[in-house]
Chain A
Amino acid sequence: MAKTAMNWAAIDADPRFQTLHRKKTAFLWGLMLFSVIFYFLLPIGSAYFQELFKVKVWGPLNIGIVFALSQFLVAWAIAGIYARRANKEFDAMAEEIIRDAQHIK
């Protein structure tokens, strides 16, 4: 693919690109913040809330193990949510901008 000159500033200023930027930024920060907080609850909980982690819920299975296992499910869920939104929405929005990119002056 030959690389033609683009007016990057104009594309950046294009309302469609701005919408993509806004939506993506808010979405990514939200997910990132949630995942970081949720993850650090594990070391914090295992250090400062040991009594809670020791509570047995199903035979010898305690809240600590359930919470550690839930970290895997939450990580996969976050990845799934991101992939769904990116595949359905962000890709299409980017596609439209790419199609018109050379004409945005």
Chain B
Amino acid sequence: MNLKLIGGAAALALVSTLAFAGSGAVADEYKWMTFAVFGGIIALTMYVTYWAARQTHSTSEFYAAGRSVTGVQNGWAIAGDYLSAASFLGIAGLISLYGYDGFMYSVGFLVAYITVLLVIAEPCRNIGKYTLGDILAFRNDPKASKTVAAVSTITVSTFYLTAQMVGGGVLIKTLVGIDYHVSVIGVGVLMLTYVVFGGMKATTWVQIIKAVLLVTASILLVLFTWGQYGFSLPGFLQAVVVDPKVQAQVAKLVGDAATNMTPEELGQRFLEPGLFLKNPIDQISLGMALVLGTAGLPHILMRFFTVPTAKDARKSVLWAMGIIGGFYVLTLFLGLGAAINVGPVDILALDKGGNMAAPLLAQYVGGGADSMLGNLFLAFVAAVAFATIVAVVAGLVLAAASAMAHDIYVGVIKGDRASPQEQVIAARLSSVIVGILAIAVGIAAEGQNVAHLVGMAFAVAASSNLPAIFFTLYWKRANTYGIVVGMIVGAMTAIGLVMISPNMTYPQAVLKEARKVLQGEPAQPAMQARPAQPASSLLCELFALDGCVAYTPERAASAEKPAKPGAAEKLTLLNEKLATLTDAKDIAKVKQDIVATEKAKAKAESDLRKFDGQTTSMMGLEKPFFLLKNPGLISIPLGFLCVIVFSLMFRDKRAEEMWDELYVRQNTGIHAEGATAH
């Protein structure tokens, strides 16, 4: 029966994608190649699921693949779980648009694994079973700690999941033109098939397959791009510096300061910090959430329960660090390669966030938009991006479902008295519920700004899960009170601060921008250069309080600017100009301008309609009250502090009595959950 269902799901996913393909980055005549590669990947993962489903009967097999995954396999699976489309396409895109600053993200994602290796992996393998809740319930009150752990796990996973579903839907639409709803449902059905039938074993192998594909694609792209320069680092960077497309992008980014710079200086500026990340305190806040958040992500934590021993957990982090680090070094070449070969203008034309940098680079190195090989490469990269989304989403759903079934249903509601059969049914049923919810949320959130959700997931994990795990493992005096209060305060602070931060949509600012597009801008007098100005106090760096002077970045001197016409007037001017032109190249350029202006006009008009009459954000604010985009700087220390303070305020006999056992077991692995024989 399973085989039929799995095959049916695969066919459904493939047929639906074929039927609804519209226009995208891949040209219509080459789409069959993308679908062939898609189909190949789906067939392979379905075979793996069929094979895994026959070995998945018990809870340990469903949640932890029978603890039979080897260290090396788990290392690849961690990389597959962690390298989301956001990092593959997003970071390469950021580097292709902003140079150095994009690469700074790459560094944080690898350094995060030092915390995982030194603090989390081995102790969690030694005392854990399936979930974050199991670790916290070891010493603390089981029902209370399992409840908060499950809520936190589901919260973090939902944020991450929504970002992946929405981002993935948009991405597949941009790449191959498949309708948004169809791709969200397609991703959802595939992921559900893996998780429900094959459990952790299938999920693990889907992640391994995806990681291998991703790494292969990246290495090939870098070989082609960097190879042109004989693998010389200064030679490659020199090509970036002298590239006119890069110079034009920097000139656009630095604005008026560009007038005093030579082309070489502009190009060199691309390799220097400060084009994207402008607020230093925000950067440090982001760094804290990245480095500490990874260790608290439930779907990463869960991976450590799949290996037989703590030694294998250690080995898996080492492999993961090798793969993840190697991949992120490659992003430098992918991003800069896309900048010089494709150019920021063409990348931005397809996607504002730069997500199309890597796919377009693939098309370029294969021979360009009209070549067979170029489109085969593009098809391959598109299919890898698709596999990436499915693999990450599967891991997230499994983590959320385990919190729901194992922590809440079995642990809290049944008081740990559920038959093995009942537990497996609960696990599968929860996966179906979470999966369907993920599809529903993905469809409901269409068109929403979800970019801040991944950052929020990391911030909550760092402010809530990490302090709880850390003090449970390493501090004798920690107890239920501290853990529960710390987790709630940490998570609420992180979420609350984001809700009042610049990440949210503020109608007044949107309306002002829209009016600028439609009505044009008045002439501006010449302005003098002004250095960056610090805020009047540290508190004023963080909050928009009364009497505060906020931080302002430096401004270059600018010449007098003439008035800019509104969109309608600009279109008339462009059309008049078009009529006088004869050169084919000029005509094409003006036509492009007309299309862009029409797009901007339509967007501004729809914004005006959408936000007409609104003055405040969904939190009732006219402008951000919290001035950073990342809440980590405040919420992480607060989470840690609350665990300490509330643990000290109360005493919990069980937490202290269990300390010796926990500490000995986490260090030695005595009585650790064993592997199930197969």
Contact = CB atoms under 8 A, between A and B. Distances in A.
Q: SS class of chain A's interface: helix, strand, loop or mixed?
A: helix
Given A35-B114, A71-B111, A79-B317, A60 B667 contact: no
Interface stretch (B299-307, B439-447, B502-510, B656-664): B656-664
A47 B103 contact: no
Contacts of B670: 6, 98, 101
B292 to A, nearest CB: 9
Contact of A98 (B108, B113, B287, B669): B669
A43 B110 contact: no
Given A8-B660, A8-B661, A94-B668, A60 B271 contact: yes
A89 interface: no
A69 B111 contact: no
B273 A40 contact: no
B235 A59 contact: yes
B660 A40 contact: no
Interface in A47-83: 47-48, 50, 53-54, 56, 58-62, 64-65, 68-69, 71-72, 75-76, 78-80, 82-83
B4 interface: no
Contacts of B100: 46, 64-65, 68
B104 A68 contact: yes
Contacts of A48: 280
Given A50-B274, A61-B234, A101 B668 contact: yes
Nearest to B288: A40
Interface string B471-514: 00000000000000000000000000000000000000000000
B203 to A, nearest CB: 25
Contacts of A71: 107, 110-111
A46 B234 contact: no
Given A43-B104, A50-B272, A61-B237, A91 B311 contact: yes
Contact of A44 (B233, B271, B284): B284
A72 B238 contact: no
Contacts of B616: none
Interface string A1-41: 10100101101100001001100100010011001100110
B608 to A, nearest CB: 37
Contacts of B328: 72
Nearest to A83: B318
A69 B321 contact: no
Contacts of A17: 664, 667-668
B273 A50 contact: yes
Contacts of B277: 43, 46-47
A24 B663 CA distance: 13
B272 A64 contact: yes
B341 interface: no
A32 B116 CA distance: 11
B104 A75 contact: no
B325 interface: yes
Contacts of B119: 28, 32
B104 A59 contact: no
Nearest to B671: A3
B246 to A, nearest CB: 11
Nearest to A42: B107
Contacts of B101: 46
Contacts of A24: 667
B287 A40 contact: yes
Contact of B113 (A12, A65, A75, A86): A75
A24 to B, nearest CB: 7
Nearest to B287: A43
Interface residues of B, number: 54
Interface string B306-329: 000001001001100110010011
Interface in B108-159: 108, 110-111, 113-115, 117-119
A23 to B, nearest CB: 11
Contacts, number: 149
B273 A64 contact: yes
A48 B274 CA distance: 10
Given A32-B115, A94-B668, A61 B329 contact: no
B269 to A, nearest CB: 9
Contacts of A54: 272
B291 interface: yes
Interface in B263-300: 267-268, 271-274, 277, 280, 283-284, 286-287, 291
Contact of B114 (A21, A44, A78, A97): A78
A1 B328 CA distance: 42
A65 B234 contact: no
Contacts of A65: 100, 103, 237, 271
B240 interface: yes
Contact of A53 (B267, B272, B283, B660): B272
Interface in B562-577: none
A39 B291 contact: yes
Contacts of A83: 314, 318
Contacts of B664: 6, 8, 11-12, 17
B103 A68 contact: yes
B273 A12 contact: no
A102 to B, nearest CB: 9
Contacts of A75: 110-111, 113-114, 321, 325
A20 B667 contact: yes
Nearest to A62: B271
Contact of A82 (B108, B117, B663, B668): B117
A39 B105 CA distance: 12
B287 A46 contact: no
Contacts of A58: 233-234
What are the 3 A-B residue pairs with the smallest beta carbon separation, nearest first? Answer: A59-B234, A47-B280, A46-B273
21 contacts: A11-B664, A12-B660, A21-B667, A24-B667, A39-B107, A40-B284, A43-B104, A46-B274, A47-B283, A56-B268, A59-B235, A60-B237, A60-B238, A69-B329, A71-B111, A75-B113, A78-B114, A79-B321, A87-B311, A91-B311, A94-B668
Interface of A: 1, 3, 6, 8-9, 11-12, 17, 20-21, 24, 28, 31-32, 35-36, 39-40, 42-44, 46-48, 50, 53-54, 56, 58-62, 64-65, 68-69, 71-72, 75-76, 78-80, 82-83, 86-87, 91, 94, 97-98, 101
Given A64-B271, A75-B111, A94-B669, 12 more contacts: A6-B661, A6-B670, A17-B668, A21-B663, A35-B111, A44-B284, A46-B104, A59-B235, A65-B237, A71-B110, A75-B321, A79-B114
